[in-house]
Amino acid sequence: MKTLKIFLKLCEMNLKTLFVYRASFFVSLISNLMFVISYILFIESLFLHVNKIGALNKGEVLLVMAFFYLFQNISDIFYRDNFENFSNEMRRGLLDTLITKPVSSRLLTFFHKMRFDYIAALFITGLQFWYAWRFIEKPFAPQLFMTGMILSLVAASIMFSIFSIIATLTFWIEKNDTLHNIAWHLMQIARYPRDIYTGIARMIFTYIIPLGLIANIPAEFALKLSSGKSILIFLALAMAFFYISLWFWNFGLRRYTSAG
């Protein structure tokens, strides 16, 4: 309960910042639009030459991509900037002010700065869902779609756990300015249909680093393609990653010595 109250207070503080820098909202809108258009052009160019990627047609691939952007938007709003700046904050001793407070150190460290200007990107993602569904022959089922949206929150929590593990490595590496680089590139694994990963890659991206699932499971649920078993595995992996990443964070924190 205390953690939730602190989280909501952090949201309130950061929301006030949004109204100070209003232009950031529109700049984020345009920036996100450029990325989405680039990837749509990429998919459209591919489908000039192929009919399916894995077992999915163009609309279904675009839907996976839309769900990918949805959980990416959630991560951008709530915690991505904090991960990118983590190495810098640690070296400059700013981490000390966050971990010495009587609240969850991980919560404060990775949620103290939120970017509500990225809410603009949610509008673009909404357009992307509309564009994807134009190419899907199945009727739109609102309940399944909304459940897919909720599963995107679970996806965002898995992504948070993976980012947390990568960030915790900074306690040993010390200078990790390429942290955001590797995190961003890893996220790209989630963008495509999981059928493209076969053999050992499939096992790694499903069970060890479940990036192959995080956009695909919500999309498959919205399309009535997923089984209850895969959703249970998805939820179990989310919980497992959360607790593993929390344990690793506490383990890394014991090694941390302040920069003064």
Partner 1 sequence: MTKYFTILKIGIQENFEYRSEIFIYMLAWSVRFLISILLFLALFREQSVIGNYNAQNIVTYFLIIQILTALNFAKTGIQISDDIQSGDFSNFMIKPISYTLYYLVLEFSKNIVRFLIALGIFGIILTFYDPNFFQIELLFRLPLILISCIFAYCIASLMNMAIGITAFWIINAKRIIFMYFAIMSIFSGMMIPISLFPDWLQKIAFLTPFPYLLHVPAEMILGQENIPKMLTNIAIQILFVILFYGAIQTLYHFGVKKYEAVGR
Distance of CA 69 to the CA centre of its chain: 8
Distance CA 136, CA 146 (A): 17
Under the criterion CB under 8 A, does residue 181 sit at the interface with partner 1? yes
CB-nearer residue toward partner 1: 101 or 175? 175
Interface pick for partner 1 out of 13, 153, 201, 232 (rule CB under 8 A): 201
Instruction: Count residues binding partner 1 (CB under 8 A).
Output: 43
Q: How far is the CB of 196 from partner 1 (least distance, A)?
A: 4
Closest distance of CB 9 from partner 1, Å = 26
Question: Cα 69–85–212 angle (5° rounding)?
Answer: 35
- Written as six digits, the tokens of 214 are 């995080």
Sign of CA dihedral 72, 74, 80, 81: positive
Distance CA 45, CA 33 (A): 18
From 18, 10, 239, select the one nearest 119 (Cα to Cα): 18
**Is position 176 an interface residue for partner 1 (rule: CB under 8 A)?**
yes
Burial 115-145 (b: 16+ CB within 10 A, else e): bbbbbbbbebbeebbebbbeebeeeeeeebb
CB neighbour list of residue 217: distance below 8 Å, 6 or more residues apart: 151, 155, 226, 230, 231, 234
CB of 188 to partner 1, least distance (A): 5
Instruction: Check residue 173 for interaction with partner 1 (CB under 8 A).
Output: yes
| 12 is a site residue for partner 1 (CB under 8 A) | no
Residue 259 as a binder of partner 1 (CB under 8 A): the answer is no
Q: Which residues, 95 to 114, sit near partner 1 by CB under 8 A? A: none
How far is the C-alpha of 249 from the C-alpha of 181, rounded, in Å?
20
Residue closer to partner 1 by CB (options 98, 166) is 166
Q: Choose which of 8, 13, 15, 41 interacts with partner 1 (CB under 8 A).
A: 41
Establish if 22 lies at the interface with partner 1 (CB under 8 A).
no
Segment interacting with partner 1, rule: CB under 8 A, options 41-49, 100-108, 135-143, 151-159: 41-49
- Please say which residue, 181 or 227, places its beta carbon nearer to partner 1: 181
Q: Does 153 bind partner 1 (CB under 8 A)?
A: no
Answer yes or no whether residue 177 interacts with partner 1 by CB under 8 A. Answer: yes
Residue 171 in tokens: 């306690």
- Residues that bind partner 1 in the complex, under the rule CB under 8 A: 24, 27-28, 30-31, 34-35, 37-39, 41-42, 44-46, 48-54, 173-179, 181-182, 184-186, 188-189, 191-192, 195-198, 201
